[in-house]
A = this chain, B = another copy of it.
Amino acid sequence: MEKFQRNERIAVLVKMLSDFPGKVFTLSSFTEMFGCAKSTISEDIDILQNLASRFDLGTIETIPGASGGVRFAQTIPGSIANEIAQALCTELSKKERILPGGYLYMLDIIYDPVRVSEIARIFASRFHGENIDYVITVETKGIPLALITAKYLNVPLVIARHYSEATDGPSVNINYVSGSSRKIETMVLSLKALKRSSRILFIDDFMRAGGTAKGIVDLAKEFDSEVAGIGVLIETAAPAKKLVDEHFSILTLNSVNEEEGIVNIKPSASLC
């Protein structure tokens, strides 16, 4: 069998582990691939663990026991999460982003793969110990964030929609009250989308009163499942009392002053 040098093994290990965050690789899959002893691979992994922490590249976790192995977790130090949040605040405070009605233009940010990956790393780091089975979002603007968070947690993404389609198969409809507009909206989820008794993480771009999040909590109940976490990029400071109890947000939008062109947005207290 071909022999591999340490730096070659390490390069391939990094690529495989970081392409599949959250996936457990057995040590024996690596010993077979490289034709080397377990102790050699263990030393390689020690080197990687050390490097990951020195360069803030996430965490390499070893899992002991028969079903054990090694996996890469997209964790992030608080200081870097804060830098990302601060950079987003600077970008979102630009007055040319203010739209009529005090809305902010942010599609360029929430659809940008690089920004989305940074933000999703914060969500994945926050929720990676919560035994999440699915990430869920409601179409449309939260989908990129939810997808990358799901990728980092190594779980499937589920998308609730506003209308059912022939390609859904049988589906569950629920009505919910949009917390800010008080309008009745519908969300639809295919019956095949979720296994019963699942732990679900709801990810979205924006939360005002939390009506959508409340809708997801109700929807989860129809699948005998539980919302184990709620993560939003931006929440508004008002109303302070949301329709759901616990949630995690990265930024808090205090106010948008259209006349003076001033956006008051800060990293959320929950981030620190």
Q: Which positions in A face B, CB cutoff 8 Å?
A: 6-8, 10-12, 14-15, 18-20, 47-48, 51, 55, 57, 99-101, 103-108, 111-114, 116-117, 139-141, 143-144, 147-148, 150-151, 154, 156-159, 161, 166-169, 190, 192-193
Contacts A/B (CB < 8 Å), 29 sampled: A7-B7, A7-B10, A8-B47, A11-B47, A12-B51, A12-B57, A14-B15, A15-B57, A18-B19, A104-B167, A105-B168, A105-B169, A105-B190, A106-B167, A107-B193, A108-B156, A111-B147, A111-B157, A112-B156, A113-B157, A114-B151, A116-B147, A139-B139, A139-B140, A140-B161, A143-B143, A143-B144, A147-B147, A147-B148
- Is the Cβ of A7 less than 8 Å from the Cβ of B105? no
A168 contact set on B, CB distance < 8 A: 105, 107
CA of A106 to CA of B169, assembled, Å? 10
A257 to B239, CA, bound (A): 53
| Residues in B whose Cβ lies below 8 Å from that of A11 | 10-11, 14, 47-48, 51
A264-B6 Cα distance, complex, nearest whole Å: 47
B192 touches A113 (CB 8 A): no
A167 and B107 form a contact (CB under 8 A): yes
B residues less than 8 Å from A7 (CB atoms): 6-7, 10, 47
Query: What number of copies of this chain does the assembly contain?
Result: 2
> Which residues of the partner chain B approach A112 to less than 8 Å between Cβ atoms?
156-157
In angstroms, Cα B143 to Cα A18, docked, is: 23
Q: Which of A11, A116, A159 has the most CB of B within 10 A?
A: A11
Beta-carbon nearest neighbor of A206 in chain B? B167
Give the docked Cα–Cα distance between A161 and B107 (Å): 12
Since A11-B51, A111-B147, A114-B154 are in contact, a sample of 8 more A-B pairs with Cβ atoms closer than 8 Å, ordered by chain A residue number, is A7-B10, A10-B11, A11-B48, A103-B166, A105-B169, A105-B190, A113-B157, A116-B147
Assess whether B161 is in contact with A101, with CB atoms less than 8 Å apart.
Answer: no
Residues of chain B with a CB closer than 8 A to A55's CB: 12, 15
| A166-B47 in contact given A7-B7, A7-B10, A57-B15 (Cβ < 8 Å) | no
Q: How far is the CA of A267 from the CA of B182 in the complex (A)?
A: 48
Is the pair A111, B166 in contact by a Cβ cutoff of 8 Å? no
Contact partners of A157 in chain B: CB under 8 A:
111-113, 144
* Residues in B neighbouring A15, C-beta threshold 8 A: 14, 18, 55, 57
- Contact between A156 and B111 (Cβ–Cβ < 8 Å)? yes
